[in-house]
Amino acid sequence: MPDPSYLPARGLTRREVLMIGAMNLAGWLLTPTRGLAERHENDLALVAKIPGMAERETPLLIFREFMADSDGEVEAHIRKTLPQRQALLTQIRERFELREPLRFSVEEIEVRLMFVPQPELRQAVAYHRYCLDITDYLFAMNRMDNFYAGITAPKKAYPPIAEKGISAFIVHRLAKVYRAICRFSDESGRIASYRVSGAIFSNHLGAVDLDIEFLDTENFRMQRRPFTIWQSNCSGLFQLMAIPVEETLHYCLGHATDRQIKGAFKQMPGLTLAAAKQVADAWMSVEEALVGGLVDRVLQRYCTRYQVLLPGLAFTQKPTKMPDLAQYRYRRQGIELVRRLGFRRSIDMYVDHPAVFKAHLDDVGKA
């Protein structure tokens, strides 16, 4: 077994990245040296074995203690499971003399993040090295500075988050322990509160969360979290390879989305925090659609560059089925639109005018 403290060396050094960028825009299509290609092929052959490995639920280590967190996944879980607890609902209705139909809202969510660390196996080391390689490749391809303060696979609780830059953490699984207040009401105006708690394993393989805070009337503070958590426990090779590319692209494109969201807020005076989050979620799903299309192209070019052919990577097939989450509602249209417009034109259009990209996305959906 590898030493737990082992940190894989980057497959591409900073000097190699600069040399690639200096060649020309199509530098990543040139034939690499045989040794470099073979090393990448060997690493990816190990990575390809990860989706078939056993799923683990322990050990569970604390990533971050309870914090106020308007976590959409947790809220969706509560909304789905609470109506199924008929005995509890009957008890609440009778105790507080509430009449049908009952309405309820989920408020004051607090979440503790926990994780199952990567196994100490060659496959995990190879995936770590791949994440370093593919992100370096993406930054060089787009002539951007690498904004990651570190990409690590933590083995201990409370991994430190860098004060500058983005911290990326590779884990086997991410868990969310939650507690929240559910408020029930009926048509008569009676209100009752009930505290719920529980835990779930996250279905988000990676996430770049946008936090929105209400300051005062018509003023909100928006911020993308300075850390992202990547889960290696997934069902397919394409999804596994896409995670670091997808989350990196979210940070690259996020400024355009955030600008669009802030503009929408200004045109909708009197927004409540809940309404503001709905506006933000709608535009985040558009960003998600673009990212989905770009990931498809990046991985195809990456594998072409290193002459890698792996089972499970068929880019000409229909898009891979995504988790049933609202954020992916435009994903298939996004993949098709990027194929029509091309990689660079898609990025330029979205960065300059997200609303124009959204209009094209709607046209694809109608076709």
DSSP code per residue over 165-207: SEEEEEESEEEEEEEEEEEEE-TT--EEEEEEEEEEE---SS-
Phi, psi at residue 165, to the nearest 5°?
80, -175
With contact defined as beta carbons under 8 Å apart, do 60 and 116 qualify?
yes
Taking the CA atoms of 181, 66, 167 and 298 in sequence, report the sign of the dihedral they define: negative
288 contact partners, CB below 8 Å, separation of at least 6: 327, 328, 330, 331, 334
Residue 146 and residue 212: Cα distance in Å, rounded?
Answer: 26
pLDDT value of position 215: 64
Angle at the Cα of 219 from the Cα atoms of 217 and 225, rounded to 5 degrees:
140
Which of 270, 180, 260, 269 lies closest to 222, judged by CA?
Answer: 260
- State the pLDDT at residue 36: 58
SS3 216: strand
10 Å CB burial of residue 71 (0-12, 13-18, 19+) is buried
The pLDDT of residue 45 is above 90: no
Cα–Cα distance between 99 and 101 in angstroms, integer? 6
pLDDT of 25: 35
Q: What is the mean pLDDT of the chain?
A: 82
Lowest mean pLDDT among 32-46, 166-180, 191-205, 262-276: 32-46
pLDDT at 275: 84
Residue 167 — φ and ψ, nearest 5°?
A: -100, 125
User: pLDDT for 81-116, tens place per residue?
Assistant: 988 888 888 888 888 878 878 888 898 999 999 999
At 216 the pLDDT is: 63
pLDDT in tens, 111-120: 999 999 999 9
Residue 193, beta-bridge partner list: 183
pLDDT at 360 over 90: yes
The pLDDT assigned to 37 comes to: 60
Quote the distance between the C-alpha of residue 158 and its chain's center. 20
Does residue 147 have a pLDDT over 90? Answer: yes
Task: Give pLDDT, residue 114.
Answer: 97
AA identity, residue 305: R
Q: Is 249 helix (H, G, I), strand (E, B) or coil?
A: helix
Report d(CA 355, CA 286) in Å as an integer: 9
Tell me the per-residue pLDDT of 190-246, one tens digit each, with 9 for 90 and over. 888 889 999 999 988 877 777 777 666 567 778 888 999 999 998 888 899 999 999
Out of 9-13, 73-77, 78-82, pick the least confident.
Answer: 9-13
* Per-residue model confidence (pLDDT) at position 184: 87
Comparing CA positions, the residue from 257, 315, 312 lying closest to residue 289 is 257
Per-residue confidence at 35, pLDDT binned at 50, 70, 90?
low
The answer to whether 208 and 250 have CB atoms below 8 angstroms apart is: yes
Q: Are strands 61-68 and 103-116 parallel, antiparallel or unpaired?
A: antiparallel
Q: Is the pLDDT of residue 336 over 60?
A: yes
User: Looking at residues 172-201, what average pLDDT do you find?
Assistant: 91
pLDDT band at 38 (very low <50, low <70, confident <90, very high): low
32, pLDDT greater than 90: no
Q: What are the tens digits of pLDDT across the range 6-28?
A: 333 334 443 333 333 333 333 33
The answer on pLDDT for 249 being more than 60 is yes
Note the pLDDT of residue 127: 96
Q: Which range (73-82, 149-158, 181-190, 207-216) has the least confidence?
A: 207-216
| Six token digits for residue 74 | 């947790």
The average pLDDT across 161-165 equals 93
User: Is residue 260 scored above 50 in pLDDT?
Assistant: yes
Note the pLDDT of residue 90.
84
What letters, b where the CB count within 10 A reaches 16 and e where it falls short, cover 17-27?
beebbeeeeee
Contact 251, 208 (CB under 8 A): yes
CB atoms within 10 A of CB 137: 21
pLDDT at 169: 97
Q: What percent of the chain has pLDDT over 70?
A: 82
- pLDDT for the residue numbered 29: 38
Higher pLDDT, 54 or 366: 54
pLDDT on residue 361: 92
- Where do runs of H (alpha helix) occur along the chain? 14-23, 34-47, 72-81, 86-95, 122-141, 237-266, 273-305, 331-341, 343-352, 354-366
Q: How confident is the model at residue 136 (pLDDT cuts 50, 70, 90)?
A: very high
DSSP 291-313: HHHHHHHHHHHHHHHTT---TT-
Whole-number pLDDT of residue 86: 86
